[in-house]
Copies of this chain bind each other. A is one copy, B any other.
Amino acid sequence: MTVSANPLLSDRDVDFQLYEVLDAPALCALPAFAEHSRETFGLVLGNVRRFAREVLFPTYRMMDAEPPVFRDGRVHTHPLLRTLYPQLVELGLLTASRPPEVGGQQLPLTLYSMASVYLMAANLSAYAYVGLTIGAAHLLEAFGTPWLREQFMTPLYQGEWTGTMALTEPQAGSSLGDVKARATPAADGSYRISGSKIFISGGDHDFAPNVVHLTLARIDGAPPGTRGISLFAVPSRRPEGGRLVDNDVRVAGVIHKIGWRGMPSLALNYGEEGDCHGWLVGPEHRGLACMFQMMNEARIMVGLNGVATASVAYHEALAYARTRPQGRAAGAKDGQHQTPIIEHADVRRMLLRQKAIVEGGLSLLAATSLQADLAAHAPDEETRKRAGLLLDLLTPVAKTFPAEKGFEANVLSLQVHGGYGYSSEYLPEAWLRDQKLNSIHEGTTGIQGLDLLGRKAVAGGGVALQAFSEEVLSTVARARQAGVPGPWCAALEASLESVLELTMALGAMGMAGEVETMLRHSADYMELFSILAVAWRWLAQAAAAREGLARGGESQEFYEGKLRAAQYWFATEVPRIKVLVKLCSSGEDSYTGMRPEWF
């Protein structure tokens, strides 16, 4: 009794976020996006929605059930990928947000983000090959020489090859400064690469002839730590004399992941035979800096994935709850027919919580993507700078909230399914497995907390937070104008105020050299900031919903649902900010004071 017609994501909600909560078409006034309009947005979304639902989603369960196999030194991915990947390329995804110079359509990231959520919700592994390839090609576009771009970027963007990010080593995950892979200069200007990488997603497969690994390594004699790491393009097969020859990158093993099972995660050995050629991308020793310039976008992609994985599960639970009969409404007699479980208050609670997380997260990602567009393409430098600050501040939150709370939503989807949810014949458990990666890759939740509090919130005397504050207050003004309940507006203002005060106090501690004390509660700070940021998005949605109701028309039920979800967030989550602010400012030292030997 699985529920098959899953919409993945609510079209009405995506349109609401783009056209009513935000004014995404206004981006088309920027020169970079002048070719676009609400109409082209609609065409792109229409194609993606159709493809995601009709082509991609039906492949999800098959790819989850038959993960890649490592045989004869090569990784054999699911045979479906041989037709799926070309179709994803055909859809124009690889260069959709890239400029015309590299063959792209230069769509705003705001639109691309929303479109990609459908693809991720349909089959995250299949889409991930696209995402990784874009990431690798984008690095070459930004930092590669014309030769490198021609040799490697072009086949990536054209969908002939695929790409990876090869950062992690067995001893260097969160701690990239400890990367040991070596790069020895060769006479021809390239390098000979040696070393081992692990958790390399898409590191080998059998549906395209080559994989280009954007690889972190140390040039011989480089300084230790983070300032001695360089970035290299290292293909699995290198172009030589007009053909591709083996480049001495070996698959050392496949990691048996619990999710994302359509995509292999590999251990790779470089240069076992001393014949692995790599080409420097960007300046020597500046590899991490190059990588970090792409980090915001990569982390936004993880956030989108978190939303997508929670969204598809939420819609599955919703359809199940509407059709599964069990028990009776309060006050009914034994003899009466059973009611669909959506009639039970506790089931509606679980569904509303999922909705609040999914749509709150989607709204946060849309708003963050909009800042990315402005940061890259606004004509005046001041706007670009301000948007860049907002982007930097919001990114760790937009990555972490969907990963952590999205997982909670996935747990609730399984719970709504009762005993059936515990069976692998139903899909919620698969999405639960998929979701768990998002709190780990592209910087763990712990790392994001340190980034948010230790860097972003206090940088430049809190200038990013100041910009955030302006955005929040402008949303409050809009909400008041639209007739959103006053207590919600007041609660958001008060919460913002208390977070600003807390941040100043913590920043002052950092300035005074008490960094350990300042960062002690970075996880709690991330938690409270996430609640605040999502409350901001729910207030914006409530405002747009009230405006919509005032206009009248067909969407009344949709708007009423939005107002209930906003109410839920303000009633259940926002009051927790106060508790968390107190915790962060209390100097509470249970875990920093807990000595390892006391456990």
Q: Which residues of A contact B (CB under 8 A)?
A: 168, 171-175, 177-178, 198-199, 224-227, 255-259, 318, 322, 325-328, 330-331, 333-335, 338, 340, 342-352, 355, 407, 411, 414-415, 418-419, 421-425, 429, 432, 436-437, 439-441, 444-446, 449-450, 515-516, 519-520, 522-524, 557-558, 560-561, 564-565, 567-568, 571-572, 575-576, 578-579, 582-583, 586, 588, 590-599
CB atoms of A348 and B199 under 8 A apart: no
User: A172-B326, A226-B334 provided; 19 other pairs, C-beta below 8 A?
Assistant: A171-B325, A171-B326, A173-B418, A174-B327, A175-B326, A175-B327, A331-B515, A344-B446, A345-B520, A346-B522, A346-B523, A352-B591, A355-B599, A411-B436, A419-B440, A558-B598, A564-B598, A567-B590, A575-B579
Write the nearest CB–CB distance from A594 to chain B, whole angstroms: 4
Most B-side CB within 10 Å, residue of A168, A348, A519, A591: A591
- Point out the residues of chain B lying under 8 angstroms from A523, CB to CB: 346, 349
- Point out the residues of chain B lying under 8 angstroms from A519, CB to CB: 330, 345
- Point out the residues of chain B lying under 8 angstroms from A331, CB to CB: 515-516
The distance in angstroms between the C-alpha atoms of A227 and B593, with both chains bound, is 57
Copies in the complex: 2
Write the nearest CB–CB distance from A403 to chain B, whole angstroms: 10
CB atoms of B437 and A422 under 8 A apart: yes
The distance in angstroms between the C-alpha atoms of A106 and B226, with both chains bound, is 64
CB atoms of A599 and B175 under 8 A apart: no
**Would A338 and B178 be within 8 Å (CB), given that A348-B591, A568-B591 are in contact?**
yes
CB atoms of B258 and A599 under 8 A apart: no
The distance in angstroms between the C-alpha atoms of A227 and B523, with both chains bound, is 51
- Point out the residues of chain B lying under 8 angstroms from A592, CB to CB: 345, 348
- Point out the residues of chain B lying under 8 angstroms from A571, CB to CB: 583, 586, 588, 590
CB atoms of B594 and A256 under 8 A apart: no
Q: Within the complex, which residue of B334, B565, B583 is in contact with A572, where a contact is CB–CB below 8 Å?
A: B583
Considering only CB atoms, which chain B residue lies closest to A348 in the complex?
B591
- Point out the residues of chain B lying under 8 angstroms from A411, CB to CB: 407, 436
Write the nearest CB–CB distance from A261 to chain B, whole angstroms: 10
**Would A424 and B352 be within 8 Å (CB), given that A345-B592, A419-B173 are in contact?**
no
CB atoms of B418 and A439 under 8 A apart: no
Considering only CB atoms, which chain B residue lies closest to A255 in the complex?
B423
- Point out the residues of chain B lying under 8 angstroms from A582, CB to CB: 575
The distance in angstroms between the C-alpha atoms of A351 and B226, with both chains bound, is 28
Q: Within the complex, which residue of B226, B347, B564 is in contact with A446, where a contact is CB–CB below 8 Å?
A: B347
The distance in angstroms between the C-alpha atoms of A449 and B349, with both chains bound, is 13
CB atoms of A516 and B418 under 8 A apart: no
Q: Within the complex, which residue of B224, B258, B340, B586 is in contact with A422, where a contact is CB–CB below 8 Å?
A: B258
The distance in angstroms between the C-alpha atoms of A174 and B339, with both chains bound, is 13
Write the nearest CB–CB distance from A161 to chain B, whole angstroms: 25
Which 5 pairs from chain A and chain B are nearest by CB?
A225-B334, A561-B598, A346-B446, A175-B327, A568-B590
The distance in angstroms between the C-alpha atoms of A572 and B541, with both chains bound, is 31
- Point out the residues of chain B lying under 8 angstroms from A578, CB to CB: 579
CB atoms of A594 and B561 under 8 A apart: yes
- Point out the residues of chain B lying under 8 angstroms from A198, CB to CB: 419
CB atoms of A423 and B258 under 8 A apart: yes
The distance in angstroms between the C-alpha atoms of A363 and B351, with both chains bound, is 33
CB atoms of A423 and B256 under 8 A apart: yes
The distance in angstroms between the C-alpha atoms of A168 and B422, with both chains bound, is 15
- Point out the residues of chain B lying under 8 angstroms from A338, CB to CB: 171, 175, 178
27 of the cross-chain contacts (CB-CB < 8 Å) are A168-B419, A172-B326, A175-B326, A178-B326, A199-B419, A227-B334, A258-B423, A258-B424, A258-B429, A340-B596, A343-B596, A346-B449, A348-B594, A349-B591, A352-B591, A407-B411, A418-B440, A418-B444, A419-B440, A557-B595, A558-B598, A564-B590, A565-B594, A571-B583, A572-B590, A576-B576, A579-B579
The distance in angstroms between the C-alpha atoms of A596 and B355, with both chains bound, is 12
